[in-house]
Amino acid sequence: MAASRGDGETIRVATRPSPQARTQAQAVADAISATTSRRCELIFVESTGDVRAEVPLHLMAGQGIFVKEVQRAVLDGRADVAVHSAKDLPTEGDPGLVVGAWCARRDPRDALVGARLTELADGATVATGSARRRAQLRAVRPDLSFAELRGNIGTRLERIPDRGAIVMAAAALEILGLTDRIAELLDATVFVPMVGQGCVAVEHRFGDGAVREALMAIDDAATRRAIETERAFLAVLGSGCSLPVGAHVDESGTITTFLAEADAPKARSVVMQADVTDPDTARLVAAELARVSRRELAGR
């Protein structure tokens, strides 16, 4: 039986069922309703990343593990839009889908919960499932030990190591009203965030003009320019890149990029910066930074 295409008036919003995903999807739905007067309905879809919660994130990197099933709900007609954390969205998109809105970015920085970096004792444990975060923390504090961290936000907050800390995206805590748990916000020029961190992306089916028009009202132009520039850096490395990687365009129009060797105690890394205020060349500049970073890391 063919999937229902809806009543034509209600916009069905596909999202993962976690508290963070549900909350950011509801914010998107409320914004759409406020600007178009159209009713929105949330459709919950479990992702591979949710089902395989026991597998460390870095072992599943680059596979779109949190987005594929949500995208499929739109492609097969169960939903009209798919809402994702932009950092989870592969650079090689599905040809049947278009990003209709990059929502205004929240705080893109990483945050320590439990203790500030300078407060952590020698050899203290920091829990994170991110190879990028481990590489960046090791560069500043090579004495630290690391533990895996998976689960929704509430679960992670319950797993702060004794006398240690966990690392999370500040935006995730902001979405859930938990910023009071932040011990320290990390400098984005040193602890370079993941591409797209802090932004919510909304996809729709290619050719769906009515939904495209609805999403235009919640698309943030400045965020779109920044995210698309960051994604140009990642695109050169490849969506399947399993190396620790990050890129961030700040409000001044400076992009900071990070690329490191595979997760290891003495992994080398490359941090580069460039001016991307010219929208006509921003993506080209970001792409060139990726090529140069890759050569530097390879020692060529």
Residues annotated as catalytic are 87-88, 132-133, 150, 156, 241
Question: Which amino acid is residue 18, in one-letter code?
Answer: S
Tokens linked to 106: 């929240």
Length of the chain: 300
Q: Are 212 and 204 in contact (CB under 8 A)?
A: yes
Counting Cβ atoms within 10 Å, is residue 300 exposed (0-12), middle (13-18) or buried (19+)?
Answer: exposed
Cα–Cα distances (Å) from 220 to 14, 103, 226, in that order, read: 20, 5, 10
What is the rounded CA–CA span in Å between residue 99 and residue 9? 20
Tokens linked to 205: 């089916």
* Nearest-10 Cα torsion for 188, 285, 290, 259: -10
What is the rounded CA–CA span in Å between residue 282 and residue 259? 19
Q: How far apart are the first and last CA of the chain?
A: 56
Question: Which DSSP string corresponds to 82-98?
Answer: EEEEGGGS-SS--TTEE
Q: Are 114 and 164 in contact (CB under 8 A)?
A: yes
Other CB atoms within 10 A of residue 50 CB: 17
Q: Are 3 and 76 in contact (CB under 8 A)?
A: yes
**Of 251, 255, 249, 236, residue with least CA distance to 295:** 236
